[in-house]
Structure 1
């Protein structure tokens, strides 16, 4: 019987996707599904804040924060992603690290950005507790969680055959409940819908139903 090591498999899969991710990240952050996330976060953040980008990928989002005058640090589980990030030629520190075991001191950052990361960790509660550990009291946590019909969710399909995958299947409403239970307060939220979804499709719906038809739901939480 083959053993499944989540961390090893995650490194392998994200290393394998690094070239593809690097080819698309700029367009995602500048004009695609992530274009509103940094303005959303920074509208709540004081200038020159220290921001930890957890799951930074090739570092393009981290670079955008740096260009706006913030003090970012990027971490990602993939060595190949971090290699791309370091090629940007900035002074931004980038480190290879697991979201559940960060090389960061307790309560040392003003804000954390973590987009489409907690759906891919073995135990979301452990990773969220680690984010809470390094975030100062009163600090902001910006987390993006994929909606149920987002394309990357297809990674978890093989579970129906009993196969192991690196997707934990946590939905936005489940993350929200977890975050509240772990001592965060919801400050704001941002809906990211697929192309073709208009206001008439979600007007009047409850938040969980809006989350159910979203491509991604972005939470802004404050550590109490």
Structure 2
């Protein structure tokens, strides 16, 4: 599937899912699978920073960042999600956009957050390079990548039956390798365990921890001021 068609289908999918997502997002961010995101983010990025929230969805995470003292711009591929986000918060700025072609100047942000966003992009490398372009030298990229046992990964199963899908199968360790090869240095990691996973794996083996995770959070620092070529 070409990238244009992929992103058109992804936009349509999330437009249809927007109301369902909005009904559950507050619980996810405050008590569920995303409750570790804000504390993790705050441990690497000072308040008052200019933050780009990619794949912001209905704006729940953006609103929480704004209330924590950050200046936030939220971007999502889904126009329906952006409509909901604008109604949720008037403090943050929201706009529809594609993570592989962001409408911002070079080095416009101190930090970027992208939680369960890159799984829905046709080319994660294009997204990583574009994020590198809009982050200041020494800026931080906080990303959440679905673990191999996360339920949403079933969206990619139909590919085995020859169907076109808009969910890739990138694993957390694959994302980390890709990012570190293309302009980023890992400065922190934390996994959200799948419900029922054994306790204490985070102290034994990072790959094992990721293998039983619902999601792995990474904090990465931009290596230099070099801006990657687009294309």
User: 1:160 corresponds to which residue?
Assistant: 160
SS at match of 2:53: strand
Q: CA RMSD in A?
A: 1.4
CA contact (8 A) 1:48 1:69 kept: yes
User: 1:79 corresponds to which residue?
Assistant: 79
CA offsets 1:126-172 (integer angstroms, 9 cap, x no match)? 01100110011000000000001100000001001111100111110
CA shift, 1:190, in A, is: 1.0
CA contact (8 A) 1:51 1:112 kept: yes
SS at match of 2:165: coil
For the pair 1:23 / 2:23, whether they are aligned, the reply is yes
Instruction: List runs of 5+ in structure 1 lacking aligned partners.
Output: none
Query: Following the alignment from structure 1 to structure 2, what is the Cα–Cα distance between the partners of residues 116 and 206?
Result: 23
For the pair 1:106 / 2:109, whether they are aligned, the reply is no
Q: How does 1:6-155 map to 2 (within 5 A)?
A: 6-155=6-155
CA contact (8 A) 2:44 2:219 kept: no
User: 1:216 corresponds to which residue?
Assistant: 215
The verdict on how the C-alpha distance between 1:89 and 1:174 changes in structure 2, with shifts beyond 3 A counting, is closer
Tell me how many residue pairs correspond in the alignment: 221
Instruction: List runs of 5+ in structure 2 lacking aligned partners.
Output: 224-231
CA contact (8 A) 2:149 2:194 kept: no
* TM-score, normalisation: structure 1: 0.95
